[in-house]
Amino acid sequence: MKFIPVLATTALALTVAACSGKTEAPEANPRPADAPQGEGLFSGASGNLLSFGKAAQEAGIRLSVNGYLWRASLETISFMPLAEVDSTGGVVTTDWYVDEKKPNERVRVNVLVLGTTLHPTSLKVNVFKQMKTASGWGVEQSQSNVSRQLEDAILTAARDLRAADAAAR
């Protein structure tokens, strides 16, 4: 029985001793002015998602996918909300996009950059479409013609990027 008051007194003494030490001032909250300044993520400046042109090659940066196709893919579907972007695997997946002119229709796009060459076989685009019904969103038929048109638009943009890069040299 004498043990409990002694234990309580010891615990209280240790707690007071621990609290009597110096305390450190809390870290200041970061302000927007403290953030690094410079180009944005999609600007094409070195070190961001779109820096896969001449500057990246000079710096020795190597991609497992074609940089022109990658950049063209991001630029072509930039109006849609992005759900997943993986430059290593060459995958761009959008979230569902609803055009305000067609509120009963929504579209999702998956872009796969499959190789390092600027060639149609290095690109695969899948377009998924759903229509709104009384019971919710219903899946529509595969949109292969839309997929092909989007692939063509990305390939054209990639060729334009390569031509612009070659002209800048």
5 to each of 11, 12, 18, 101, 115, how far by Cα in Å?
10, 10, 20, 77, 75
Contact (Cβ atoms closer than 8 angstroms) between residue 111 and residue 91? yes
pLDDT at 63: 59
* pLDDT tens sequence for the chain (169 residues): 555 655 556 655 556 555 555 555 555 544 444 545 554 444 444 444 444 445 555 555 555 789 999 999 999 999 999 999 998 889 999 999 999 999 999 999 999 999 899 999 999 999 999 999 888 988 887 667 999 999 999 999 999 999 999 898 8
Q: Is the pTM of this model over 0.75?
A: no
Burial of 101-134, coded b for 16+ CB within 10 Å and e otherwise, reads eeeeebbbbbbbbbeeebeeebbebbbbbbeeee
pLDDT at 123: 95
CATH architecture of residue range(s) 64-167: 2-Layer Sandwich (3.30)
What are the extents of the domains in the chain?
Answer: 64-167
Q: How many residues comprise the chain?
A: 169
Cα–Cα distance measured from residue 136 to residue 152, given in angstroms and rounded to the nearest whole number: 32
What are the tokens at 58?
């000079």
Q: Is 72 exposed, middle or buried (0-12, 13-18, 19+ CB in 10 A)?
A: buried
Cα–Cα distance measured from residue 14 to residue 89, given in angstroms and rounded to the nearest whole number: 56
pLDDT at 44: 44
